[in-house]
Amino acid sequence: MKSMYNFLTSKALIASVVISFTIASCQETSVENQSSAPSAPTGSVLRVSGESEFVEGELLIQFKEGASAAAKQKAFDKVKGQPVEKILTKAMERAGRKEGLALVKVNKNVLEAVAELNGAEGVEFAEPNYLYQHTAMSTDTYFTNGSLWGMYGPSTSPASPYGSNAAAAWAAGNTGSATVYVGVIDEGIQLTHQDLAGQVWVNPADPTDGIDNDGNGLVDDTNGWDFANKDGSIYDGGTKGTLDDHGTHVSGTIGGKANGQGVVGVNWDIKLISAKFLGRRGGTTADAVKAVDYLTSLKNRGINIVASNNSWGGGGYSQALFDAIARANNAGIMFIAAAGNSGTNNDVTASYPSNYNLPNVIAVAAIDKNGALASFSQYGATTVDIGAPGVAINSTTAYNTYSSYNGTSMATPHVTGAVALYASTHPGASVAQIRNAILSSAVPTASLAGKTVTGGRLDVNAALSK
Q: Strand, coil or helix: what is 405?
A: strand
Q: Which DSSP state fits 391? A: S
Instruction: Check the CA dihedral 228-229-234-239 and report its sign.
Output: negative
Residue 401 burial (C-beta neighbours within 10 Å; 0-12, 13-18, 19+): middle
- Calculate helix-pair angle for 69-78, 110-117, nearest 10 degrees: 140
Q: What is the C-alpha separation between 251 and 246, in angstroms, rounded?
A: 9
Q: How far apart are CA 124 and CA 184, in angstroms?
A: 30
Of 246, 297, 395, 424, catalytic: 246
Separation in Å, CA 250 to CA 2, 136, 206, 310, 409: 25, 10, 26, 9, 7
Give the C-alpha separation, 227 to 277, whole Å.
Answer: 5
Are the beta carbons of 292 and 308 closer than 8 angstroms? Answer: yes
Q: Are 228 and 283 in contact (CB under 8 A)?
A: yes
Instruction: Give the C-alpha separation, 338 to 333, whole Å.
Output: 16
Our answer to whether residue 426 is catalytic in this structure is no
Asked if 50 and 8 touch (Cβ cutoff 8 Å), the reply is yes
Buried b (16+ CB within 10 A) or exposed e, 175-208: bbbeebbbbbbbbbbbbebebbeebbbebeebee
The yes-or-no answer on residue 409 being catalytic is: yes
Helices (H), 139-284: 166-171, 245-255
Distances (CA, A) of 156 to 57, 441, 464: 54, 18, 17
* 186: annotated active-site residue: yes
Write out the H or E segment, with its range, that includes residue 444.
Answer: strand 443-444
Beta pairing partners, 184: 274, 309
* Residue of 39, 377, 409, 447 with catalytic role: 409
d(CA 266, CA 257): 9
Closest by CA position to 127, among listed 152, 94, 102, 93: 102
d(CA 138, CA 406): 7
**Nearest by Cα to 232 from 181, 275, 200:** 275
Which residues does the annotation mark as catalytic? Answer: 186, 246, 409
